[in-house]
Chain A
Amino acid sequence: MVLGNPESHAPDRLDELLQPILTRWGSAARNLVQILREAQEACDWLSPGVIDRLQRALGVPRAKIEGVAGFYAFFYTQPRGRYRVLFSDNVTDRMLGNRALLDRLCRQLWIEPGKTSEDGLVSVASTSCTGLCDQGPALLVNGFAVGRLDAARIDAIGELIRDAVPLADWPAEFFAVADNVRRADILLGSAMAPGDALRAAHARAPSDGMLASNMRSWREGLPRGVGGPDALLDEIKRANLRGRGGAGFIAGLKWEACRNAPLAPGQQRFVVCNADEGEPGTFKDRVLLSAHADLVFEGMTVAAYALGARRGFLYLRGEYRYLLDRLQAVLARRRAAGLLGGNILGIPGADFEIEIHVGAGAYVCGEESALIESLEGKRGTPRNRPPFPVTNGYLDQPTVVNNVETFAAAALVALNGGDWFRAIGTGKSAGTKLLSVSGDCARPGVYEYPFGVSVAEVLADCGAVDAQAVQVGGPSGVCLAPDEFARRIAFEDIPTAGAFTVFDRTRDMFEVARNFAHFFAHESCGFCTPCRVGTSLLRNLMDKLHDGHGSPYDFAEIEKLNRLLQAMSHCGLGHTACNPVLDTIARFRPAYARRLEREDYTPAFDLDRALAPARRMTGRDDPGAHLQTVAEAGGESGASPGCGAREDSEGGRV
């Protein structure tokens, strides 16, 4: 609990700050994440006084609010300063020297990383990838992204903070985020006028196949006699459009399942756009939302039309907060143009509204059921499935969740038809794929290719020379070595949400994997035992290897952890958490071998290291305070459970 920490604001001022936020969000507990986010923006932190007021206004237990606030990395229940600086700590930021810049800023501000300055002015810490990998190193200040950091920019930021200059008065170029579109195809090159896809969808006549396959009560929420939705769904299915968020589920089938899900009285269907884009190294959704927001919103509206949905959400990751106002402006423009709201395009009963929710620093909220929990104002833990969102999603009602890129592609399918789309790409992977290219290459940015492009082609296009590895799909994807560069980006070969991170021969692939192990440990939601504990065990193992205390035994341990996490974890985060370590062990073993202290046995306990606290306490660090040898005695430390009658099934540990 906070002792003697003054509220940043006087009590009556708190009411004044919080009331408009509560009003905007209907004082509804299901909007708790949004209310907390805005409350923190207004009050700097979620003080006990803030929580008092929210609890009274929302009528929920205090522990619920604290439980939600405690889940998201960007919510603070301790004062963190008027300036809260978070350095992006993706491996690409590391490669661009972010640690030195963090230290530089801390020195300049006379603070320790992770601590708040005594005058309550500032705190500096790290966060997971902020999606500015093509223009890093990057940081967030009070939630707003600043990229292209160098010593000069850091010094300028230090000065602005010391002088307590309001963020609004900082140089605008600090907050300029470039799109860096390097290769455009149907999506990034689209010049579709807003509304064209909807008009095309509405005009489309139902085809025979669809009528035969699906005559159900899909018309809830839509006027009678509209032929368009049926025909549209048919086109989406014909296009073989597969989800762009990673799993590659066929969008047409998902939409159809949602449309066919029964509705209880008072229920409706929802369309949710997943813009959480948390996979380190991925930033293509950011560029779509920045350059083609209309295409994305149009795709959502197309989906709503096909499903008979009247409400939609865009779940925007907290790191992209800077896009919020622009996106709201696009929505307002679409409303004014009759492309959102009531009777869209003048079609009676075609009503659809889109609300934007902003995340607060949780990778797991990209998992669709965790995302829905977050939309409902809860901790972002994945749900038990079945049931799936298509039948029991937002507020337990049928919900379609798709990736940003999937919706953008759906808009083009509605406009140009399924056959047109299917002709692009490969047999099982229709259309194009956006790749977020970063790391060791001359031209980082977003590249759009028809599916089937080889890794080598992308490397050539982005100007990567001397690549020793490419991480495709981020930490949860695959790590490829040069003999695999002929492989192709497609669901038939390498499926990916789009991260493409290049490492040249100067890079230490062990450190890459260690960075990813830290990422998963930081982002595990903590719901299930294997991932909550296992990701931290894996992180600790990698740190142990890093410190030179590893042995071959640890490889077996990592494999065992991997089997356990794959078998027992509750969601994809746990299932894939060991991938980067296993991939790099398989392909870059020398990077690990160099670190092994012993090739043959396990130093279970390092006596000299155990003496470190004693040295600290006595202020000694002379040779006499060190032991030369590493103890060779093994043995388990700590208590074992009170039952000894059985054999140790694992044969113990050497």
Chain B
Amino acid sequence: MSINPGFAPSFSLDGRQVPFTAGQTIIQAAAAAGIYIPHLCYRPELKPHGSCKLCTVKVNGRQASSCTLQAQAGMVVESDTDELNDERRALLQMLFVEGNHFCPSCEKSGDCKLQATACELGMTSPHYDHFFPSRPVDASHPDVLLDFNRCILCSLCVRASRDIDGKSVFALSGRGIGSRLIVNARSGRLGDTDFSAADKAASVCPVGVILPKRRGFAVPIGERTYDAAPISVVALREGE
């Protein structure tokens, strides 16, 4: 299927030939080739999780998560299609109604990957009825605030704390729609853990859950990351 200079194996993605190296996932190979595939629970430096399903593509006609599936020569992959983008919009709507997202008053607005992906994919209404879950805020830590209302359960903070910081400050608990993020302390409060604002886990949250204290609206709305450029550009530029 793939005729490639240098015999690098390749697969086709929306009609383009994308080379890859052994062990690379579809999303990694796509990013290296400058092609954005929407994603929320994936970051290159962390082990993929495969849970948000935003990165779903069709491989030889069957859906698969591009952040976990390894590329193989000759695969025919579709990503930027009306069908898949419709489904991605529905996933985003689900994430919005599952939590409590009041973007105009959210410190992360403009830097938020959920919001930016919704913009990218043209999601304009939440469509579904809101769940309005009750999720108390944790302000116990001196430097960092946890606003669980916005958690999308992507587990990036869980992986970053465990695999990079070596601390395991966060974990998922509950199940189904009752799934929730918990903190590694008998009191359940971040202030009673060894978490530090310098931890990797403090900087990976795609939404506005893990926020530094005393830094409200330092950058005015309108001048934030995704105000300047859409996430499809930022993600490739920043390699995230």
Residues of A at the B interface (CB closer than 8 Å) are: 1, 48, 51-52, 61-64, 66-67, 69-73, 362, 379, 384, 386, 521-530, 532-537, 540, 560, 563-564, 567-570, 636-650, 652-653
Contact = CB atoms under 8 A, between A and B. Distances in A.
Nearest to B40: A529
A552 to B, nearest CB: 17
Contacts of A540: 129
B125 A560 contact: no
B53 A528 contact: yes
A642 B176 contact: no
Contacts of A48: 186
Contacts of B182: 63, 66-67, 70
B171 A64 contact: yes
Nearest to B173: A70
Contact of A647 (B98, B124, B153): B124
A442 B152 CA distance: 49
A529 B65 CA distance: 12
B97 interface: yes
B90 interface: yes
A322 B90 CA distance: 44
Interface stretch (B27-35, B44-52, B196-204, B212-220): B44-52
B3 interface: no
Given A384-B65, A523-B176, A643-B119, A570 B97 contact: no
Nearest to B154: A529
Contact of B174 (A1, A386, A526, A640): A526
Contacts of B148: none
Given A529-B51, A536-B131, A637-B130, A1 B188 contact: yes
A609 B63 CA distance: 41
Query: Which of B70, B86, B90, B152 gathers the greatest number of chain A CB atoms within 10 Å?
Result: B90
A533 B68 CA distance: 21
A72 B69 CA distance: 29
B109 to A, nearest CB: 6
Nearest to B104: A642
Interface in B86-130: 86-87, 89-91, 94-98, 101-104, 109-110, 114-115, 118-119, 122-130
B175 A525 contact: yes
A640 B56 contact: no
Nearest to A567: B63
B91 A568 contact: yes
Contacts of A567: 56, 63, 87
Contacts of B124: 640-641, 643-644, 646-649
Across the A-B interface, the 4 shortest Cβ-Cβ residue pairs: A70-B173, A526-B179, A63-B171, A533-B94
Contacts of A636: 125-127
Residue among A66, A72, A642 with most chain B CB within 10 A: A642
A529 to B, nearest CB: 5
A524 B174 CA distance: 11
A527 B173 contact: no
Given A521-B176, A652-B125, A639 B68 contact: no
A638 B87 contact: no
Given A48-B186, A537-B129, 16 more contacts: A63-B182, A64-B168, A66-B171, A70-B175, A379-B175, A522-B176, A524-B176, A527-B51, A529-B51, A530-B94, A535-B176, A536-B177, A641-B123, A642-B109, A646-B119, A646-B122
A69 B174 CA distance: 8
A99 B110 CA distance: 50
Contacts of A527: 51
A524 B98 CA distance: 15
Given A527-B51, A646-B119, A532 B56 contact: no
Contacts of A524: 175-177
Contacts of B90: 530, 560, 564
A636 B188 CA distance: 35
Contact of A384 (B48, B98, B119, B186): B48
A50 B53 CA distance: 37
Given A1-B188, A564-B87, A61 B171 contact: yes
B228 to A, nearest CB: 14
A564 B153 CA distance: 19
Nearest to A636: B125
A638 B153 contact: no
A87 B116 CA distance: 46
B25 to A, nearest CB: 10
Contacts of B101: 639, 641
B173 to A, nearest CB: 3
A1 B109 contact: no
B95 A529 contact: yes
A67 B172 contact: yes
A523 B127 CA distance: 24
A523 B178 CA distance: 11
Contact of B126 (A52, A70, A640): A640
A641 B103 contact: yes
A636 B98 CA distance: 15
Contacts of B86: 649-650
Contacts of A521: 176-177
A537 B168 CA distance: 32
Contacts of B178: 526
Contacts of B51: 527-529, 570
A563 B182 CA distance: 32
Interface in B173-232: 173-180, 182-188
Most buried by B among A528, A563, A641: A641
A526 B86 CA distance: 22
A638 B129 CA distance: 9
A52 B186 contact: yes
A67 B125 contact: no
Which residue, of B91, B168, B176, has the highest number of chain A Cβ atoms within 10 A? B176
B53 A530 contact: yes
A371 B123 CA distance: 37
A642 B171 contact: no
B92 to A, nearest CB: 8
B11 interface: no
A564 B129 CA distance: 17
A71 B125 contact: no
A71 B174 contact: yes
A213 B31 CA distance: 42
B170 interface: yes
A567 B98 CA distance: 20
B174 A62 contact: no
Nearest to A639: B102
A623 to B, nearest CB: 28
Nearest to B91: A529
Contacts of B56: 567-568
Most chain B CB atoms below 10 A, which of A48, A533, A535: A533
Q: Most A CB atoms within 10 A — which of B56, B115, B174, B175?
A: B175
A534 B122 contact: no
Contacts of A71: 173-175
Nearest to B123: A641
Given A533-B95, A653-B127, A641 B115 contact: yes
A63 B52 contact: no
A640 B125 contact: yes
Nearest to A650: B127
A532 B119 contact: no
Nearest to B132: A638
A384 B63 contact: no
Contact of A62 (B95, B114, B180, B186): B186
B65 to A, nearest CB: 7
Contacts of A64: 168, 171
Given A642-B103, A643-B119, A568 B177 contact: no
Nearest to A537: B128
Contacts of A525: 175-176
B179 to A, nearest CB: 4
B16 to A, nearest CB: 23
A533 B56 CA distance: 17
A234 B99 CA distance: 54
